[in-house]
Structure 1
Amino acid sequence: MSTRKYPYAIVIGRFQPVHFGHQRLIEEGLRAAERVIVVVGSDRKPRSVKDPFTFDERERMVRACLRGTEQMRVSVVGVSDSPYNDQLWIASIQSAVDRLIQQDGHAPGKARVALVGHLKDASSYYLKLFPHWEFVGHHNVESLNATDVRSLYFDPEHRGQLARADLPDGTAAFLEQFTHTADYAALCEERAFLVDYRDKYRYAGSEFPPIYTTVDAVVVEAGHILLVQRKFHPGKGTWALPGGFVGQHERLQDAAVRELREETRLKVPVPVLHGSMKASHVFDAPDRSQRGRTITHGFFFELAHNQWTGLSDVRADDDAAEVRWVPIAEFLGMQEHVYEDHYFIANHFLGGLGKN
């Protein structure tokens, strides 16, 4: 007869990559419960220095930490971020966990569930968002954290400082293989760009880094949304909303219209664009941009459609690899190819499509 206290234990993390702290949490879950559900966050995001590995790659690293007898007791599920809606993120995790419990033939509302985690700092606030699960705290493990691992790993000059013994065997083996891929080379290039960018735009002589102000335009017409493909780092190759930095002497909406026209050559007169603006909102998640603290103001434009001439003409500017009208139904399935939080910015407005 099992002496484990819980039927289920939950371990939540980004696992970018899996380190010894993650491994210990999973092991604690296996000691406490019959079955462990590992929730892998930040699913369906394009590769970046902060989120370099796909869900499948992270599941491989998680499973490489397990002994053969433990494999059948661990399930791994991916959950996307919801940077501007904690309740939606909580509901996504609850739904993923409930589905697995139901598949076992149990009632989710009656199953006793443990949430295994370590309250290390303010970034662990999410562990307090699930009061219906019993929190099982775990002590800190002295090891390299994921941020430090990424910092060394994507800097070719310092990668040698990251020894195999610093990571679980499965993670070390995966990272060694990944260094031979084109994705690794691209991420090293992006990291070098970001380091140079932060050094170049740091406030001279100040302990406070700059806070940038940008604008982004969500433009829809006849069930399509206007997107640009980024030509340069960061986010090279991903799809983004037209937008950019606010000029020193510009009002926010004026900047949004200017950036929209510059990036897409959208053939709609400026007065018509201003008249087509239906809503605006501020998006200020502290870590929304890799370049540094960047607060963006989103503007929603709904263009009148002329069925005889088709969608308004657009043409890529020098800063964009491509610009195109994308059917909204197609866009909703593009999350893993969309730059930073632009997918969530667009969806904030698409929920109110057609409203004045």
Structure 2
Amino acid sequence: MHHDVAVLIGRFQPFHEGHYGLVEAALERADRLILLLGSHRCAPDTRNPWSSEEREAMIRAALPAAWQRRLEVIPIRDHLYSDNLWLAEVQQKVLTVTAEDERVLLIGHRKDRSSDYLDLFPQWDFQDVPLQSEVHATAIRQAYFSDADATEWAAHVPEAVRAFLTDYRATGRYRWLRQEADYIAGYRQLWSVAPYPPTFVTTDAVVVQSGHVLVVRRRVRPGQGLIALPGGYLNQQEPVVEGMLRELREETGLKVPRPVLEGSIADRHVFDAPGRSQRGRVITHAFLIQLKGGALPAVRGGDDAEKAFWMPLADIYAHEDRFFEDHVQIIQHFISRL
């Protein structure tokens, strides 16, 4: 049966020959295609190196002009800790560009557990499309951000994408990402001799006062230069709350008496999405510290923080693509409860 609209969901980091085949299959089965571009406004790292704008440009450059006229690209954000929020955003984006009586077809390829989202849309028809080649974006990125010969990644992407990626290698952003990739590879190598994959425990402090949240700019890799919550690894002999307060003082120099900080803890939550960190399995215990209104205490960067500063809550989303890992979502979790 022919459909009015096909929906294709993915990150396309980068857009490769397998994705090209999915687009072709979608346009064979529907009059037009809505391509939902995931991980919108994520800070760049080696899992999500290219912005939504860059990825859309790659995709459009790779497709024939006749296909582009039938294509609409819509970015969507990640919601690591709420499938329902993600589903609601996907449904809302599709509803805004389709009529009530249009027949919708979800296009996808079931490859592993990362494809489970394809079962979450019973209101649409579904078509599983086998990939023309078993190429994976992860393998392409690993080769691209390494010393591997260009043939290990260039052969798996359309010509226009190959040209974009070749030019991108001359940019400062590529050099930054390559240094991040080298750091992550070295970090993982250090732990490769462990008898089992390690699980790391960290803490983060969400300190809120007078409509501001206390953040730092990271001095070290990974995420060097990105905005983050004050926090770090838990020492072997300290309770979680003790580790959080220690990291908070070391990274921000916040001069608020300890009894006041402890008495201002309004909430706590564990954030444990398996893919939340490039370093490996990192589980963080985050605490909301709600200080009374008034003048903002002086802070200064220290330890792993190049700078500490108070950010207005209204600015978080304006700068969300400069935040480390899932820290925007951690802040969002807490401030939505205030």
1:148 aligns with 2:139: yes
Q: Which runs of 5+ in 1 are unaligned?
A: none
Q: Between Structure 1 and Structure 2, how many residues are aligned?
A: 338
User: Counterparts in 2 of 1:281-292, with a 5 A limit?
Assistant: 281-292=269-280
1:174 aligns with 2:164: yes
User: What SS class does the counterpart of residue 150 from structure 2 fall into?
Assistant: helix
1:198 aligns with 2:188: yes
- Give per-residue Cα distances to partners, 1:16-69, cap 9 Å, x unaligned: 000111111111110010010001100101110110000011101111221111
Counterpart of 1:352? 337
The answer to whether the 8 Å contact 1:120/1:140 transfers is no
1:217 aligns with 2:205: yes
Instruction: Tell me, in whole angstroms, the C-alpha distance in 2 between the residues paired with 1:202 and 1:164.
Output: 29
Higher mean C-alpha deviation, range 228-237 or range 292-301: 228-237
Q: CA deviation at 1:144?
A: 2.6
Partner AA of 1:297 in structure 2? H
Partner AA of 1:286 in structure 2? P
User: What SS class does the counterpart of residue 96 from structure 2 fall into?
Assistant: helix
User: What SS class does the counterpart of residue 45 from structure 1 fall into?
Assistant: coil
1:35 aligns with 2:32: yes
How has the CA–CA distance of structure 1 residues 87 and 287 changed in structure 2, closer, same or farther, with 3 Å as cutoff? same
Partner AA of 2:239 in structure 1? R
Partner AA of 2:50 in structure 1? F
Partner AA of 1:305 in structure 2? G
Partner AA of 1:154 in structure 2? F
The answer to whether the 8 Å contact 1:152/1:161 transfers is no
Higher mean C-alpha deviation, range 327-336 or range 270-279: 327-336
Counterpart of 1:316? 301
Partner AA of 1:62 in structure 2? I
Partner AA of 1:79 in structure 2? I
**Structure 1 consecutive aligned stretches of length 4 or more whose deviation exceeds 6 Å:** none
1:329 aligns with 2:314: yes
Q: CA deviation at 1:121?
A: 0.8
Identity rate, percent: 42
User: Counterparts in 2 of 1:206-355, with a 5 A limit?
Assistant: 206=195, 208-306=196-294, 310-353=295-338
Instruction: Tell me, in whole angstroms, the C-alpha distance in 2 between the residues paired with 1:203 and 1:292.
Output: 14
Partner AA of 1:292 in structure 2? G
The answer to whether the 8 Å contact 2:22/2:131 transfers is no
1:62 to 52, 59, 62: 59
Counterpart of 1:19? 16
Q: Which runs of 5+ in 2 are unaligned?
A: none
Partner AA of 2:34 in structure 1? I
User: What SS class does the counterpart of residue 12 from structure 1 fall into?
Assistant: strand
- Give per-residue Cα distances to partners, 1:196-254, cap 9 Å, x unaligned: 111113453x2x21000011110000110000011121111110011001110111111
The answer to whether the 8 Å contact 2:62/2:160 transfers is yes
Q: CA deviation at 1:330?
A: 1.1
Instruction: Tell me, in whole angstroms, the C-alpha distance in 2 between the residues paired with 1:141 and 1:238.
Output: 38
The answer to whether the 8 Å contact 2:200/2:282 transfers is yes
How has the CA–CA distance of structure 1 residues 218 and 273 changed in structure 2, closer, same or farther, with 3 Å as cutoff? same
- Give per-residue Cα distances to partners, 1:68-102, cap 9 Å, x unaligned: 1111100001001000000101111111111122x
Instruction: Tell me, in whole angstroms, the C-alpha distance in 1 between the residues paired with 2:111 and 2:191.
Output: 31
User: What SS class does the counterpart of residue 100 from structure 1 fall into?
Assistant: coil
Q: CA deviation at 1:163?
A: 5.3
Instruction: Tell me, in whole angstroms, the C-alpha distance in 2 between the residues paired with 1:159 and 1:35.
Output: 37
Instruction: Tell me, in whole angstroms, the C-alpha distance in 1 between the residues paired with 2:237 and 2:254.
Output: 23
User: Counterparts in 2 of 1:119-158, with a 5 A limit?
Assistant: 119-155=110-146, 157-158=147-148
Instruction: Tell me, in whole angstroms, the C-alpha distance in 2 between the residues paired with 1:148 and 1:50.
Output: 11
2:155 to 165, 168, 186: 165
Partner AA of 2:159 in structure 1? D
Q: CA deviation at 1:271?
A: 1.3
The answer to whether the 8 Å contact 1:11/1:117 transfers is yes
User: What SS class does the counterpart of residue 343 from structure 1 fall into?
Assistant: helix
